[in-house]
C-alpha cells in the first residue's frame, strides 16, 4: 500500500484522529437514526447508561424515563431473565424512595403499572430470593 495508500482510500483520517463517542451521544444518535427501542444496540447502550446512573455521579441527574424504557424493553425481550428482574427491582426501589416524584408524573406511574403487569409471579418468585424445596438429605 505504500505511503498513505490505505490512508488515502479511507478518506484521509488516521486512527489517532478518530473520536470515540460516549454511550449518551451514541444513544442520541441511535434515537435520531430511528433505531427501535427493542434493537440490541439500543438495549446494550441503555444498559450502560442505566449502570452509569447508579454511580455516585449519576444519581444527581437520574433519568426515570430511561430506566422505565429499558425495563419495559427487557420485559418484551427477555421476561424470564434475571436481568429483567434486576431492572424491575431497581424501578421498584426508585418508586418506593421517591413516590411523590413518580406520582406527580402520570406517565411514569402508568409505566410502572405496565411494568408490574409484565412480571409473571413465578419469574419474580424464583429470581428474587430462592424459596426452593427443603433439603431432604439434612432432614433425615
Per-residue pLDDT of the chain (140 residues; tens, 9 = 90+): 455 555 555 555 555 666 788 888 888 898 899 888 888 888 888 888 888 877 766 555 667 788 888 888 888 887 777 788 888 888 888 888 878 877 788 888 888 888 888 777 666 665 555 445 455 455 54
**What was the pLDDT predicted at 123?**
62
d(CA 53, CA 59): 6
Beta strands in the chain (DSSP E): none
Cα–Cα distance, 105 to 101 (Å, whole number) = 7
Tell me whether residue 46 is in a domain: yes
Closest CA to 70 of 82, 55, 87: 87
pLDDT at residue 88, rounded to an integer: 84
Sequence-ordered list of residues with C-beta below 8 angstroms from that of 79, at least 6 positions apart, any chain: 118, 119, 120, 123
Q: Provide the pLDDT for residue 104.
A: 81
Per-residue buried b or exposed e for 77-98, using 16+ beta carbons within 10 Å of the residue's own CB: eeeeeeebbebbebbeebbeee
Domain contains 6: no
- Whether 118 is in a domain gets the answer yes
Quick one: DSSP state of residue 58? G
Query: Is residue 37 in some structural domain?
Result: yes
Q: pTM of the predicted model, to two decimals? A: 0.63
Tally of domains in the chain: 1
Give the pLDDT score at 25: 87
Q: Does 131 reside within a domain?
A: yes
What is the domain range of residue 81?
19-139
Angstrom CA distances, 81 to 56, 87, 113, stand at: 27, 10, 20
Within-domain flag for 81? yes
Classify residue 12: in a domain, yes or no: no
Amino acid at each position: 500500500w505504500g505511503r498513505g495508500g490505505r490512508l488515502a482510500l479511507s478518506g484521509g483520517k488516521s486512527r489517532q484522529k478518530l473520536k470515540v463517542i460516549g454511550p449518551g451521544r451514541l444513544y442520541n444518535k441511535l434515537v435520531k437514526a430511528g433505531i427501535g427501542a427493542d434493537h440490541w444496540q439500543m438495549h446494550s447502550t441503555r444498559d450502560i447508561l442505566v449502570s452509569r446512573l447508579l454511580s455516585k455521579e449519576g444519581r444527581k441527574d437520574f433519568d426515570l424515563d430511561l430506566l422505565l424504557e429499558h425495563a419495559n424493553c427487557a420485559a418484551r425481550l427477555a421476561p424470564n431473565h434475571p436481568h429483567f428482574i434486576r431492572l424491575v427491582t431497581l424501578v421498584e426501589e426508585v418508586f418506593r424512595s421517591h413516590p411523590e416524584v413518580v406520582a406527580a408524573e402520570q406517565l411514569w406511574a402508568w409505566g410502572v403499572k405496565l411494568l408490574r403487569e409484565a412480571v409473571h409471579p413465578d419469574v419474580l418468585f424464583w429470581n428474587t430470593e430462592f424459596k426452593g424445596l427443603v433439603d431432604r438429605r439434612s432432614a433425615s
